[in-house]
A = this chain, B = another copy of it.
Amino acid sequence: MVSSAQEMANVAGRQSVVSPKIGENEITFSIMAPYAASVKLSGSWMAAPARSVDMIKAGSGVWSITIPAPKPELYTYSFNVDGLNVRDPNNIFLQRDGTRYMSVLLVPGELTANYFEANKRGNLSKVWYESPTLGLTRRMYVYTPYGYDGGTAKYPVLYLLHGAGGDEDAWSTMGRACQIMDNLIEKKLAKPMIVVMTNGNANQTAAQNDVPQVRSQGNQISAAGKFEESIVKDVVPYIDKNYRTYTDRGNRAITGLSMGGAQATLAGLNNPDKFAWVGSFSGAFVLWPNARDPKGGQNLNLDAVGKQVFPNLNSSANSRLKLLYISCGNDDFLFEANRQFKGWLKEKKIKFVDVETPGYAHVWSYWRISLVDFSSRLFK
C-alpha cells in the first residue's frame, strides 16, 4: 500500500538489521526494540523446560544474542518482547502450524540437504475437488515429480496425511515434502511418484488462512471414519481420473503423521484392494473410533481395535501388504500407544517394519526423517 519509492526506503531500513545471521559455527539473532525492558529468544532446539534465553540490548536499540549453531535441522523460533510473543521481523521465512506462525531457522548440513531445492524440481498444485462423502468442496495439494509436465509416463501415488492442528498445506511447508521428494528422486533413492496431500479435518474445506471468512472451529478430528471413507471414495478416483497414475493397489501408498497416521492405517488396512503400502509416523491411534481406553489417556482399547477398527484384519494381510511401516520416536508421548498397537499386530501375526528412534519426541523433525525413510521404500 506504499509507493515503490517508499517501499525501497523501507527495505533499506529493515536491512540494517539482519536476522538470523548464520555463521560457520554460530548464529546471531537480532531485533530492533528500543523501548523494550526485556527480550528473550525461544527456539525449538532448546531443551525444555528452560526454553528461552535472554537477549542483550546495544545502544542502538537492537537486541541480540549469538549462540553456538545447533546441529543441522529445520528449527522454529520466536522472540518474547516484554511478554509478547513475536516473529522475527527480519526473517522472511515463516511457517504456519494451523493457526500459529513461527520464524524458521534452517541450519545447513547433511541431514537438511534434502530440505533445500534440488536441481530437478516437481510442481505443486492447489486443487479443489468435490467430496460427496463429506458434503464439501474441498482442497488438496498435489505434487507431481520432475518430468510429469510435458511427459506421457504414468506414476504411482503416495497419499500423505497431516496431523491434528494442521491442514493440506502442512506437509509442503513444515514437512518440506516437495524438496524431500525432489532430492530423493534426483538421487534415485526414491521412485518418481505423485504425492497427494489432503486436508484431514473432516469438516474443513481448506486451510483457514486461505478461506478467511471462516474462523477456526477448532481441530476437526476425522469424524469417525468419514474422512478415511472420503479418501477412498472421493480423492483416489479424482486423482486417478485427472492425473497419469498407475491405478493398481501395488502402485498406491498411504501414510501420515499423528492423527494422519491413525487415518492412514484405518484407510489403508481396511482397503487392501486399494493400498499395498501403508505407514504411520507417530500415529495417534486413540483417534480411531472408540479406540481410546475408557479410562482415558493415550492407552488403546485393544478389544475395540480388533472388533471395531480392524474387524477383518488378520495374517492373510501379509500376502497383500507390500509394506506396513510404523515409526515413532522413543520420547514421543504416543510411544506407549504405538507399542500397544504393535503388540496387537504381533499377536495377529501381521508383519510390519518397526522403527523406534531414540531422541525424538512428537516433532516435525522426526516426521521429515520418517518421510525420507518411508518414501525410499515404496514401489520397489
Residues of B with C-beta under 8 A to A76: 1
Asked whether A377 is an interface residue with its Cβ less than 8 Å from the other chain, the reply is no
> Do residues A4 and B284 form an inter-chain contact, with CB atoms below 8 A?
yes
Chain B residue at smallest Cβ distance from A243:
B149
Asked whether A94 is an interface residue with its Cβ less than 8 Å from the other chain, the reply is yes
> Do residues B125 and A123 form an inter-chain contact, with CB atoms below 8 A?
yes
Interface of A is mostly: loop
CB distance from A373 to the nearest CB of B (A): 20
Given contact pairs A3-B333, A165-B7, A362-B3, A94 touches B137 in the complex (Cβ within 8 A):
no
Given contact pairs A11-B98, A165-B7, A258-B4, A92 touches B208 in the complex (Cβ within 8 A):
yes
Asked whether A86 is an interface residue with its Cβ less than 8 Å from the other chain, the reply is yes
Given contact pairs A4-B284, A8-B219, A213 touches B82 in the complex (Cβ within 8 A):
no
> Do residues B123 and A126 form an inter-chain contact, with CB atoms below 8 A?
yes
> Do residues B123 and A124 form an inter-chain contact, with CB atoms below 8 A?
no
Number of interface residues of A (CB under 8 A): 79
Given the complex of chains A and B, what is the CA–CA distance between A340 and B270 in angstroms? 70
Contact of A216 among B15, B87, B106, B125 (CB under 8 A): B15
Residues of B with C-beta under 8 A to A99: 11, 14, 92
Given the complex of chains A and B, what is the CA–CA distance between A92 and B94 in angstroms? 13
Given the complex of chains A and B, what is the CA–CA distance between A44 and B1 in angstroms? 7
Given the complex of chains A and B, what is the CA–CA distance between A149 and B127 in angstroms? 9
> Do residues B82 and A82 form an inter-chain contact, with CB atoms below 8 A?
yes
CB distance from A16 to the nearest CB of B (A): 13
Known: A84-B86, A125-B126. 9 other contacts (CB 8 A): A3-B333, A4-B259, A8-B165, A15-B216, A32-B84, A81-B81, A92-B216, A94-B94, A116-B213
